[in-house]
Amino acid sequence: MKKIILAAAAVAFATPAMAVPGDTATDSGTATAEIVAPITITHDAGAALDFGIVIPGTAAGTVVVSQTGAGSVTGDALFVSGSTNAADSFTVTGDASRAYTIVTTGGSVASGTNTMSFTTDAPASSTLSATGSDSFSVGGTLSVGANQAAGVYTGTYSATVTYN
């Protein structure tokens, strides 16, 4: 009988333990999040996209102002002697060293019921500095109609910046 009990005990210890119902195991995972400074854009004080003082011709023309502020005319448009041009400028702030895109719209300028359309020219993208700031300039092209009516023409456009 002792041999049977010893044999039964040996078999019991040699058999792997069976999982007990309700047996559980737990481990931990990780979670991360990165918070970045919001991107902001500010129109620089005193800046404006200035197409200058233009004399229209009997045929249409254009006035082009580069992003550096240099002005030129095409077609029948002429600058008044001494007329100056200027590019517009904006300052961008946000997360240091982060890349962003720039989108500007065109529009129209008006004097009473008379209008002229314009398009804008800005860099497509840029990167904020190590301190989280940057700036860019906007030029444009103004379409001057044949015999365009005299007047001071004004209008607006928008500039939008977005993190890449």
User: Tens-of-pLDDT digits for all 164 residues of the chain?
Assistant: 555 555 555 555 555 556 668 899 999 999 999 999 999 999 999 999 999 999 999 999 999 999 999 999 999 999 999 999 999 999 999 999 999 999 999 999 999 999 999 999 999 999 999 999 999 999 999 999 999 999 999 999 999 999 99
HEC-encoded secondary structure of 58-122: CCCEEEEECCCCCEEEEECCEECCCCCCECEEEEEECCCCCEEEEEECCEEEEECCEEEEEEEEC
**pLDDT score, position 21:** 80
Task: Please state whether beta strands 88-93 and 114-121 pair in parallel, antiparallel, or not at all (unpaired).
Answer: unpaired
Query: Cα–Cα distance between 54 and 77 in angstroms, integer?
Result: 7
